[in-house]
Chains A and B, each alone.
Chain A
Amino acid sequence: MAATAPAPMPSAGSPRLYHLAGTLLRYAPVAVLFIVWDLLGRTGLISRQMLPDLADIFSAFTTMLLSGDLLYNSARSISRAATGLGLAVVIGIGAGLLMASFRPVRLIVNPIVQLFYPMPKSALIPVVMIWLGLGDSSKILLIFLGCLLPVVVGTYNGAKGVNPFLLWSAASLGASRAQVMREVVLPAAMPDILNGCRTALAFSFILMVSSEFVIATDGVGYMISSLGDGGLYPAMFAAIFFVAAIGFAADRLYAALVRRLLRWREA
């Protein structure tokens, strides 16, 4: 095992070092996994074809990183995912709030949501392919459609679940409808909205990668599948781990954002 510093010793160093050692120790099982990987390859139990050498993967990774391939394709993918997700968040929150405040809107939108919510959204890939071809817009539309419903449902549930006493007291203090919406409903529904957006974030990554597997000429999904088709497995593993890391980082960033936005909630 690597030198992980004597972690449990109190006052062994600055608290920052202590914290770092704790984090390292916490993620040690991930390292264990990679050691097992290495051993399986080294002993020849599993062929190198199936489980490439970690050093090869790393060198393939640096090559792709330096040539700019990885960053270019990631930027293409992320720009599509971000556009689709951004549109879904804005329109979804709006639609959810409208549904919660106006009964006619609710009656009209609800059956559509009920019908399409359980549908596996990846089935729309051939549809957007027919509608918009193979370019960016088809993938953006797919991601938008896939992310929309979780946001709508989260917002609607949040806005519907607002304690009516809060609404009544705001109204009795003379707040207008718009003010009640902005100052009471939106903050009170925020936890549910953010939950819906988190689901949407996960969906956006799934749909981004899978649509690029099926139809694309660039982007990380395309990169992974073309590397795999070409038999360049170390590079393929490197690209996959990179995508996984982006997904992980996006989720962590989002969690940090949520903590900031919900600071006012119980300590």
Chain B
Amino acid sequence: MTMSHVGPATKGAAPAPAPRRHIAPRTVDTLVQVSVIVALAAFWEFGARFGALNPFLLPPLSTVLVRLWTDLLSGVVLVDLGLTLYRALSGFLIAALIGIPLGIVMSRSKAVRWFFDPLISVGFPMPKIAFLPIFILWFDIYDTSKIIMVAFSCFFPIVAATYAGTTALDKWPIWSARSFGAREHEILWEVHLPMALPQILTGLQVALPVGMITTVVTEMLMGGRGIGGAMITAGRFADSVGVFAGIVEVIILGFVVVKSLEYLRARLLIWHPETRR
């Protein structure tokens, strides 16, 4: 066994002190990047502790983490995270369940396209969050209006990407599928959708962060727990430790959610050239 590919697993076990001059550049990169994060955290901690930064404006990291830990033990964090995740994901899924089929139907039916194309091209660039008071008026301030608001803001990127993806398709695979005797619905499932999948997923990847932003804002405005609600309450009481505990939670949540969707993309597009890099 030669040490040809230095992976992340080969660091232990203290091998023979053979050629050590060459560490894989990837390992160096990872090390540097991890140390940047560590340095940032240390700067935050000690800067706040030794008075370089005002501890009200930026409370020491350890204080924030202790708060996070006690809240975690009392279950508050999990309830807030769960509520935010539930609202963001339900809105996102509703938008996907309406947006993807609508985008496909738009690319196949002229009448549907005639009706929805202008509505979507008008709605797409609008700041959807401005419509929030209307949803509050219509659906009250509880979960329904939050989820509808999130779905509304996720809907446009998803439908636009699906429509674009299913419209500009390469003709050849469709013709060859047809010449092999595939039926229309088979062509839809076996040719159209797989070919449009990268674009549809891109639409979902654009929509998800927008949905998260919207969820947090709706929680800040309407209350009802959730990370946004907890953070704005902390902010109003000038509880900066609480605010920064919320920021840490939100960073973790955003990271996990966005990376999960990236992982899903890599899984779903495992056959696609873009994954093979």
Contact = CB atoms under 8 A, between A and B. Distances in A.
B133 A111 contact: no
A94 interface: no
A70 B101 CA distance: 39
A119 B250 contact: yes
A55 interface: no
Instruction: State the main secondary structure of chain B at its contact with A.
Output: helix
B127 to A, nearest CB: 4
Given A107-B33, A120-B209, A123-B247, A228 B130 contact: no
Contact of B255 (A27, A118, A125): A118
B36 interface: yes
Contacts of A244: 126-127, 130-131
A228 B137 contact: yes
Interface stretch (A82-90, A158-166, A177-185, A233-241): A233-241
Interface size class of A (residues with CB under 8 A): 35 or more
Given A125-B220, A206-B213, A248 B126 contact: yes
A111 B57 CA distance: 24
A202 B125 contact: yes
Contacts of B209: 118, 120
A210 interface: yes
Given A107-B33, A210-B129, A214-B220, A123 B118 contact: no
A17 interface: no
B214 to A, nearest CB: 8
B136 interface: yes
B243 interface: yes
Contacts of A26: 117-118
A173 interface: no
Interface residues of B, number: 60
B69 interface: no
B37 interface: yes
A248 B130 contact: no
Nearest to A204: B127
Contacts of B228: 122-123
Interface stretch (A4-12, A29-37, A257-265): A29-37
Contacts of B36: 107-108, 111-112
Contacts of A210: 129, 213, 217, 220-221
B132 to A, nearest CB: 7
Interface string A15-52: 00000000000111110110000000000000001100
A123 to B, nearest CB: 4
B24 interface: no
Most chain A beta-carbon contacts within 10 A, residue among B127, B134, B137:
B127
B167 interface: no
B38 to A, nearest CB: 10
Contacts of B63: none
A86 to B, nearest CB: 18
Contact of A248 (B125, B133, B206): B125
B32 A107 contact: yes
Interface in A102-122: 107-108, 110-112, 115-122
Contact of A214 (B29, B119, B221): B221
B119 A29 contact: yes
Contact of B136 (A112, A203, A228): A228
A110 B33 contact: yes
B37 A236 contact: no
Nearest to A221: B130
A154 to B, nearest CB: 13
Nearest to B220: A214
Contacts of A214: 217, 220-221, 232
Given A205-B127, A210-B217, A251-B125, A228 B133 contact: yes
B240 A123 contact: no
13 contacts: A29-B115, A29-B117, A119-B247, A120-B212, A125-B232, A126-B234, A126-B243, A214-B217, A233-B137, A244-B130, A244-B131, A250-B125, A251-B124
Given A107-B29, A207-B213, A224-B130, 5 more contacts: A30-B119, A30-B122, A111-B36, A122-B228, A127-B235
